[in-house]
Every structure is written in C-alpha cells, then in structure tokens.
Amino acid sequence: MSGKKVLVVDDDVKVVEVLKLYLNRDGCEVVTANTGTDGLKLARETRPDLIVLDLMLPELDGFQVCRALRAESDVAIIMLTARTTELDRIAGLDLGADDYVSKPFSPRELAARIRAVLRRMPDSMLERGPSEIKHDDLKVNFPRREVLRECRAITLTPTEFRLLGIMIKSPGRVYSRAELISGAFEYDFDSYEHTVDTHIMNLRRKLEPDPNHPKYIITVFGMGYKFAGKEDV
C-alpha cells in the first residue's frame, strides 16, 4: 500500500487523526478534509487512489459527494457513518460506494479493509479468462468494463462489476458469501456478509428483466449465489 494516496473526509477531527496515523504507518499519503465541499474539491485536485467518506458532513453530505464523484470517476470509496439502517447502507452502495463501515469502528480493521481495496487495483482476477462473455441477451466486456443487456449499456459500480465478473466466468458454480467477500473485497470479516447481499440486490435490480424472479444471478439457499449455468436455462 506504500505510495498510495488516501483522502479522508470526516468532520470528526479525532477520527481523521487516528486514521491518518494508521494509514501513514502503512506508507500512504493522506489528504484530509472536514466538509463535503472541501472533500469534493480535494478529490478533484489530488486524484486519490481511495476515499474514506463520512456520511454526515457539513455543507455537502456523503451521499451528495459520492454521487458527484461517481459521475466523473471510479475512485474507490469506503463510506463511513454512524447511521446503520439498511436503507442508508443500500443507498450508499447504490450510489457507488465500494464498502460501508459503521461507527464506532476499529481503526485497525478499517485500515485492513482499505489495504484490501487498494490491493485489488488493478483487477488482476478479472483479467484472467476470456475478455468478453455473452450469456443470452447479456454481454460483459472486461477490458472496457462494459455491460450490455439487449445492446443497452448498464452502469455498474466497480464492486458490482467485480462480483458479476467473478460469477459469470464460472457459470453454475455456487459461491458462498465468504468466497465472494474474499474475491471481491479481499477480506474475510464475517460480520460484513450482509454487504454482499446488498450488492447482489443492486446487481439484480440493474441486470434482471424481473429482479423478483432472477434468471442470471441465482440464490442457492443455505449456500450462496451463482450465475445461471446450462442447467438453469
């Protein structure tokens, strides 16, 4: 992680200082901001590799900042917030955040998750195998990070694309939540398995003609998820 630039946007000075200490120890260059407006400005000026973004910010909140960034960049974003409702988590991930960490949190654990996100860039796993896969009316082009259904482009977040790529390259194989966390997020914290469910729900909403009756991403009860194989067609 040495040499990576991380932008921390939080109005809690103590949180900023603790994170800066841990990330500096990992060799990161850390840039900080205490308002949403300053955070967005610094993100555009400094072009960080990853942003830790608090949800409750003065001037512009984390949702607004995340929405603005996703309109112009695929920078990795970890949302940091004291709000823990499912709707808040879904909203943050749906806007394009790669992960969602609730306060209070362990700085050591958050630093580990930041390392994991940074390690998966560039995405060597998705570079393996075919560069393009077609399944029914769905086409995924990996070098271009492009997803088309019925020739219409579908916009996925980096994490959604990664999860789809892992599953579609092995159709019919069942992936547990732990395997998807390891492959897509590169950490194994059991308490964050619900994050996978939220990303899967968002993927279905974007990919499936009828998300309530998915034909691409299938739930295997008691086991996990799979991309539809020949036996599912």
The model's pLDDT over 79-98, given as tens digits with 9 standing for 90+, comes to 887 766 666 666 767 777 87
Shared domain for 27 and 115, answered yes or no, is yes
Shared domain for 105 and 175, answered yes or no, is no
Which value, in Å, is the radius of gyration of the alpha carbons in the chain?
18
3-state secondary structure of 148: strand
Average pLDDT over residues 177-198: 67
User: Which CATH number covers residue 72?
Assistant: 3.40.50.2300
pLDDT of residue 180: 83
Average pLDDT over residues 33-51: 93
3-state secondary structure of 9: strand
Q: Is the pLDDT of residue 10 over 90?
A: yes
Residue 74 domain boundaries? 5-119
pLDDT of residue 34: 95
Last residue of a domain, one of 91, 119, 147: 119
Establish whether the linkage from the previous residue to 122 is cis, with ω within 30° of 0: yes
- The beta-strand segments (E) located in 35-137 are 50-54, 76-81, 99-102, 132-135
Q: Is the pLDDT of residue 231 over 90?
A: no
**Beta-carbon contacts of residue 104 (< 8 Å; ≥ 6 apart):** none
Shared domain for 168 and 115, answered yes or no, is no
Q: Is the dihedral of CA 151, 152, 158, 163 positive or negative?
A: negative
Shared domain for 101 and 131, answered yes or no, is no
How many other β-carbons are positioned within 10 Å of the β-carbon of residue 204? 19
Which two three-digit tokens encode residue 24? 């500096």
Predicted TM-score (pTM) of this structure: 0.61
Q: Kindly report the CA angle at 98 between 95 and 101, in degrees rounded to 5?
A: 100
Q: What percent of the chain has pLDDT over 70?
A: 84
79: β partners:
53, 100
- Tallying the residues shown for the chain, one arrives at 233
Shared domain for 32 and 115, answered yes or no, is yes
Shared domain for 133 and 115, answered yes or no, is no
Average pLDDT over residues 105-125: 73
Average pLDDT over residues 160-171: 88
Establish whether the linkage from the previous residue to 104 is cis, with ω within 30° of 0: yes
Counted domains in the chain = 2
Q: Is the pLDDT of residue 187 over 60?
A: no
